[in-house]
């Protein structure tokens, strides 16, 4: 790992990350390029790493933790793991996102979702859009892989779908009764409406 | 007559909708009744409702698939996109809605408040070099009673997801959907503003709740609350 010092001069790549709203937490030179670990509120708890390969562009990766999934610790060659990887690949391909299992000495530890950005430095807005794309996909997949049995493949396939939504931008309304299956809310409503 | 309704769901809570069995027993006022469903291998939650005789039902799937509503909905999708199958209705808690919808205004609802979903399944035909795409557009509608007991409905968000479209066509599919789907909120709100007064007919209400299925009040049957739900109201 390269040491940062008080006199470290920000590289063009690091400036690009900063302009996109991300902080470089660490960087590591590897064969052919450099890996940057980024942090930001945009990362929403997903660990983000960006590989810069001069002349070949950037690869943005987001790590999905499997701590709540029974896939953790299994072999990357197991039937379940391959089925999940297949479902992810089929679902994420149209978005240009790839999925890889991350395995350690004791089996699968996590998943890495990655997308390639062709430009060498990456315009800040394009970089930010790629990172948001990866973190949103990673969040959805992390939830889906906690399911078990046949439900998991359905959930993974659903989570890998290309999706978009808009935030609800409506004014709060004065509500007297709202539908719910919540027991505490039911008790309150019964106290208010029953004699 | 009042009705005791029993619902048995595959999923772990009624708020998660999904497949269910139902049994309904009408009974005299202040009289007794019981209902049972047996031999269900995949039940993980049960709901019972004691439904008064003056309950009125708004079958949301029935409404969403009437010709006027379908004409409005179909107008949102232009070739090569088209609706696939009937419009489906369901419900979801605010807490279980996509964060892309709730994140912009997280305090808008309590996590346990239910919103109706209007689900439009669609298909997009693509050129030979791309896979066709299949997906769902969802509009979120909050039905509630205001302080005066008036039934109101507010369209509060949209979401779409699809699979396919690769390797080259997702950009143009996204562009078409991003253009069409947000505008559907106003169209849907106009439909609600027109239709709800016809249903309420000047009445006010003291209670409203969702029922899985079409809101039937007799017999034994199965249905799927991912596809059909009804809004029940009790008039003053």
Q: What's the rounded Cα separation, in Å, for the pair A166 and B158?
A: 6
Tens digit of pLDDT for each residue in B116-156?
A: 999 999 999 888 888 888 999 999 999 999 999 999 999 99
Residue A90 touches partner B, C-beta closer than 8 Å: yes
What Rg, from alpha-carbon coordinates, does chain A have? 21
Cβ-proximal residues to B212 (8 Å cutoff; 6+ apart), any chain: B7, B9, B14, B17, B20, B22, B47, B223, B225, B228, B229, B230
Q: State whether A180 and B113 contact (CB < 8 Å).
A: yes
- Chain A residues with CB under 8 Å of B170 CB are 94-95, 162
Residue B208 touches partner A, C-beta closer than 8 Å: yes
**Which strand (E) or helix (H) includes residue A84?**
helix A79-92
Determine the distance in angstroms separating the CA of B220 from the nearest CA of chain A, rounded to an integer.
Answer: 22
- Whether B206 shows a pLDDT value over 50: the answer reads yes
Residue B168 touches partner A, C-beta closer than 8 Å: no
pLDDT at B43: 86
3-state secondary structure of B49: strand
Tens digit of pLDDT for each residue in A61-79?
A: 999 888 888 999 999 889 9
- Whether A55 shows a pLDDT value over 90: the answer reads no
Residue B149 touches partner A, C-beta closer than 8 Å: yes
Q: Residues for chain A: how many in total?
A: 195
Axis-axis angle for helices A79-92, A150-159 (nearest 10): 20
**What residue has token string 């590591």?**
A28
Q: Which residues of A94-116 are buried (b: 16+ CB within 10 A; e: fewer)?
A: bbebbbebebeeebbbbbbbbbe
Sign of dihedral through CA atoms A76, A79, A85, A88? Answer: negative
Q: State whether B145 and A176 contact (CB < 8 Å).
A: yes
Tens digit of pLDDT for each residue in B227-236?
A: 999 999 999 9
Residue B178 touches partner A, C-beta closer than 8 Å: yes
Which ranges constitute the DSSP H helices of B129-207?
A: 170-200
Residue B9 touches partner A, C-beta closer than 8 Å: no
Question: Token pair for residue B217?
Answer: 């009040």
- 8-state DSSP, B150: -
- Chain A residues with CB under 8 Å of B112 CB are 180-182, 185
- Whether A120 shows a pLDDT value over 70: the answer reads no
**What residue has token string 């008064």?**
B52
Q: What's the rounded Cα separation, in Å, for the pair B130 and B133?
A: 9
Q: What's the rounded Cα separation, in Å, for the pair A41 and A15?
A: 18
Sign of dihedral through CA atoms B56, B60, B64, B65? Answer: negative
Residue A153 touches partner B, C-beta closer than 8 Å: no
Q: Which residue of B has its CA nearest to A165?
A: B159
Given pLDDT bands bounded at 50, 70 and 90, which one contains residue A195? low
Neighbours of B180 (CB within 10 A): 17
CB B51 within 8 Å of CB B34: no
Q: What's the rounded Cα separation, in Å, for the pair B178 and A110?
A: 33
Q: Residues for chain B: how many in total?
A: 236
- Chain B residues with CB under 8 Å of A168 CB are 101-102, 104-105, 108, 140, 156-157
ipTM, 2 decimals? 0.82
CB B64 within 8 Å of CB B43: no
Best mean pLDDT range from A6-10, A156-160, B93-97: B93-97
pLDDT at A122: 61
Q: Among residues of chain A, what percentage have pLDDT more than 70?
A: 92
Q: Among residues of chain A, what percentage have pLDDT more than 90?
A: 20
- Whether B164 shows a pLDDT value over 60: the answer reads yes
**What residue has token string 């509500």?**
A175
CA-closest candidate to residue B13, choices B123, B124, B91, B117: B91
- DSSP for B185-206, written as a single string: HHHHHHHHHHHHHHHHTT--EE
Q: What's the rounded Cα separation, in Å, for the pair A137 and A95?
A: 10
Q: State whether A165 and B101 contact (CB < 8 Å).
A: yes
**Strands A107-117 and B3-9, how do they pair?**
unpaired
Residue B171 touches partner A, C-beta closer than 8 Å: no
- 8-state DSSP, A177: B
The least confident of A41-50, A140-149, B217-226 is A41-50
Given pLDDT bands bounded at 50, 70 and 90, which one contains residue A4? very low
This prediction's pTM: 0.80
């Amino acid at each position: 790992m390269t040491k940062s010092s008080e006199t470290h001069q920000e590289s063009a790549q690091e400036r690009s990350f900063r302009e996109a709203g991300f902080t470089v937490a660490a960087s590591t030179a590897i064969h052919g390029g450099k890996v940057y670990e980024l942090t930001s509120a945009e990362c929403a708890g997903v660990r983000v790493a960006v590989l810069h390969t001069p002349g070949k562009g950037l690869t943005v990766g987001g790590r999905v933790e499997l701590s709540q999934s029974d896939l953790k610790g299994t072999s990357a060659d197991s039937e379940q793991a391959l089925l999940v990887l297949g479902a992810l690949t089929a679902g994420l391909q149209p978005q240009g996102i790839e999925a890889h299992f991350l395995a350690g000495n004791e089996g699968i530890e996590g998943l890495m979702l990655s997308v390639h950005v062709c430009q060498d430095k990456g315009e800040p807005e394009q970089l930010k859009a790629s990172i948001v794309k990866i973190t949103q996909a990673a969040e959805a997949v992390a939830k889906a892989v906690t399911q078990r049995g046949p439900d998991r493949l359905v959930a993974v396939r659903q989570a890998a779908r290309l999706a978009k939504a808009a935030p609800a931008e409506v004014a709060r309304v004065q509500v007297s009764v709202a539908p719910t299956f919540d027991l505490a809310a039911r008790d309150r409503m019964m106290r208010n409406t029953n004699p | 007559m009042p009705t005791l309704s029993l619902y048995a769901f595959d999923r772990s809570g009624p708020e998660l909708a999904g497949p269910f069995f139902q049994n309904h027993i009408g009974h005299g006022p202040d009289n007794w009744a019981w209902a049972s469903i047996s031999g269900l291998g995949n039940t993980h939650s049960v709901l019972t409702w004691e439904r008064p005789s003056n309950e009125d039902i708004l079958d949301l799937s029935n409404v969403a698939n009437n010709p006027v509503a379908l004409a409005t909905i179909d107008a949102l999708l232009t070739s090569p996109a088209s609706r696939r199958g009937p419009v489906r209705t369901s419900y979801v808690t605010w807490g279980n809605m996509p964060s892309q919808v709730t994140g912009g205004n997280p305090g808008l609802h309590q996590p346990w408040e239910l919103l109706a979903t209007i689900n439009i399944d669609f298909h997009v035909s693509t050129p030979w070099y791309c896979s066709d795409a299949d997906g769902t557009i969802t509009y979120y509608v909050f039905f509630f009673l205001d302080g005066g007991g008036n039934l109101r409905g507010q369209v509060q968000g949209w979401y779409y997801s699809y699979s396919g479209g690769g390797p080259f066509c997702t950009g143009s599919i996204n562009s078409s959907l991003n253009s069409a789907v947000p505008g559907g909120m106003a169209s849907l709100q106009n439909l609600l503003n027109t239709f709800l007064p016809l249903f309420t007919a000047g009445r006010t209400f003291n209670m409203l709740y969702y029922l899985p299925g079409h809101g039937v009040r007799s017999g034994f049957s199965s249905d799927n609350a991912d596809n059909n739900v009804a809004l029940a109201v009790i008039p003053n």
